[in-house]
Amino acid sequence: MEKIIVKGGNKLSGEVNISSAKNSVLPIIVATILCPDKVIIQNSPMLEDVNVICNLLNELNCDINISKINNSLTINTENIIPADANSELIKKMRASFLIMGPMLARFGYCKLSLPGGCNIGSRPIDLHLKGFKALGADVNIGHGIVEASAKKLIGNRIYLDFPSVGATENILMASVLAEGTTIIENAAEEPEVWDLANFLISMGADIDGAGTGKIVINGVKTLKGITYKPIFDRIEAGTFMIAAAITNSIIKINGVNEEHLRPLIEKLKECGIIFTEKDDCIIVDGRGDKKPIDIKTMPYPGFPTDMQPQMMSLLSIINGSSIITETVFENRFMHVAELARMGSKIKIDGRTAFIEGVQNLTGCEVKATDLRAGAAMILAGLIAEGKTEINDIYHIDRGYINVEEKFKNLGADIIRISK
């Protein structure tokens, strides 16, 4: 078991390069199932979640080559076989359920184990299944297994009760090869959905409106192999923005699509952080006085739930009262207990956290209760007095590549040790 140790108090300076978005790369890898040609995905961060999805495709008899030189993935799914419902890899990661859409499109059949809950909420899949049924699939659930089959998928109009990212992506992938037109209404507008659609369009799919609440897909007969570079990771970039803010530092972040980060940037500006934008980099000046703020997480373009824990670390040390309301996941306040161990003053009432800023946090032993909560612990550790020891860091490795190296290069006192 490994842990990350942060000694607080160092100012940060210099620049950091942002990797490609985990939440783009995962569905894009899965979407290669739709086409038997070779696909090259450039600049793929070799995160733990990416390893899991690559191992899953390997298990399904696909060829995957990982180039260590430019981190490109070459994937050939020509000889893919139907998924084994009992695969441990599918059970291991919720995003694996995204293979159902492309598998249904390619084989007219897919059987998978139901994804379990996770630390941040129950995370059902009813909307994914509603979409497959609307496209003409028979869907049966029993003994923890979902089985979907269709002689052929036929386009339909699908309204999502909630703009779920995963459901939008799964239905999008199922419908690109379906007969006729599919319309997804109240679709997720997240940049990663747009990126997946852009990838599919480059392969020859006919998709209009991705990145808005209404996506129109005209089914095509086949797709072709391509080379593709996914977008930058807005959540990784956002985490470094908060690192500058929390340490009263100025840093340059390379690999930022400022539009994707607007919901976070606007809130940080309200706090008193200054941004200078230039092409695809941004300078974040967190040296000024900071004000408390109120935040409500929402589907994009609202404030991202994946930035909520990191923002809580920052608000913990801003003088005054801040409020965070979490509307996307029902149980995403696990980090509050960990921040409390470090001296923060936060009260929870249902989905709302009331934060009273304290002057300083104190380092101690904490846990990464989930991926973004782990990032929040690193951020809190950067300004805490003394040593913060973060356990369960496998969560952090799911979504941040070379995390301690990136922070160390900025001047943080941070190391990873084996227990």
Task: Return the number of the residue (30 or 178) whose C-beta is nearest ligand UD1.
Answer: 30
The residues, any chain, with a CB within 8 Å of residue 281's CB and separated by 6 or more, are 15, 252, 253, 254, 255, 256
Whole-number Å distance between alpha carbons of 98 and 101: 6
Please say if 118 is a catalytic residue: yes
DSSP code of residue 373 = H
Based on the shown chain and the rule CB under 6 A, indicate whether residue 302 belongs to the binding site for ligand UD1: no
Say how many residues touch ligand UD1, by CB under 6 A: 22
Minimum CB separation of residue 193 from ligand UD1 in Å reads: 9
Does position 329 bind ligand UD1 by CB under 6 A?
Answer: yes
On whether the CB atoms of residues 120 and 309 are closer than 8 A, the answer is no
Residue number with CB closer to ligand UD1 (168 or 388): 168
Residues placed in the known binding site: 22-23, 94, 123-127, 306, 328
Contact with ligand UD1 (CB under 6 A): which of 123, 296, 408, 416? 123
Q: Which residues are annotated as a binding site for UDP-N-acetyl-alpha-D-glucosamine?
A: 94, 123-127, 306, 328
Report the site for ligand UD1 in 136-175 (rule: CB under 6 A): 162, 164-167
Q: Cβ-closest residue to ligand UD1?
A: 166
Q: What CA–CA distance (Å, rounded) separates 399 from 233?
A: 10
Touching ligand UD1, residues 335-364 (CB under 6 A): none
89 touching ligand UD1, by CB under 6 A: no
Between the alpha carbon of residue 288 and those of residues 240, 245, 248, 249, the distances in Å are: 17, 9, 7, 9
CA pair distance 77, 42, nearest whole angstrom: 17
Of 54, 62, 110, 118, the active-site residue reads 118
Nearer to ligand UD1, 247 or 313 (CB): 313
- Helix/strand/coil for 6: strand
Whichever of 306 and 404 has its CB closer to ligand UD1, that residue is 306
Closest CB to ligand UD1 among 172 and 414? 172
List phi, psi (to 5°) of 97. Answer: -65, -15
Residue 111 has φ and ψ, to the nearest 5°, of: -130, 120
How far apart are the two ends of the chain, measured CA to CA in Å?
6
Q: How far is the CB of 148 from ligand UD1 (least distance, A)?
A: 14
Coil, helix or strand at residue 226: coil
Residue 135 touching ligand UD1 (CB under 6 A): no
> Do 187 and 212 contact (CB within 8 A), yes or no?
yes
Q: Does 50 bind ligand UD1 (CB under 6 A)?
A: no
Compute the distance between CA of residue 322 and CA of residue 294 in angstroms, rounded to an integer: 5
| Residues that bind ligand UD1 in the complex, under the rule CB under 6 A | 23, 26, 94-95, 121, 123-128, 162, 164-167, 188, 192, 305-306, 328-329
Q: Which residues are catalytic?
A: 118
